Amino acid sequence: MCIRDRTIGVRDEAIRLYDRLRAAKWVRTPDPRDAPSEASMRFRWRQSDCLFNVSRDAMLFTDAEQRAAEAVPIKTDESRYAVFVQCFTVMPPAARGAS
C-alpha cells in the first residue's frame, strides 16, 4: 500500500509509479499484452517479468495489507492506494496462432 496526495488521483499516481520503475531501469516486457486502461503494466528486471496493478483500494484483503495500512498513518489530505505485483521468471515467447 502506498500513500497519495488526494489532489493527484490514482491514475496519475500509477503514471508516477511506472515512471519511477523506468527511471530504476525496469523496461517494458516485449509484447506485454497487459491492460493499461486498467492501470496494469508489465515490466522486466533481469530475469523477472512483473505485472504491476495500481488500484484505489486494497484488492486481496490479506493480513499483510491490513498490517501495512495500520503501520503507516495517513494525513487528512492523503489517501491510500494499493499496488499489486506478481512476478515470474522470464520465459521464451509462446507461439501464436497463424494469421
Q: How many angstroms separate the CA atoms of 42 and 87, rounded? A: 9
Residue 70 carries which DSSP code? H
* 99 residues of the chain, pLDDT tens digit each: 555 556 678 888 888 999 999 999 999 988 777 665 666 889 999 999 999 988 887 778 889 888 888 888 888 878 888 888 999 999 877 777 655
What ranges do the domains of the chain cover? Answer: 2-89
Cell numbers describing residue 58: 486494497
**What was the pLDDT predicted at 36?**
58
The residue type of 3 is I
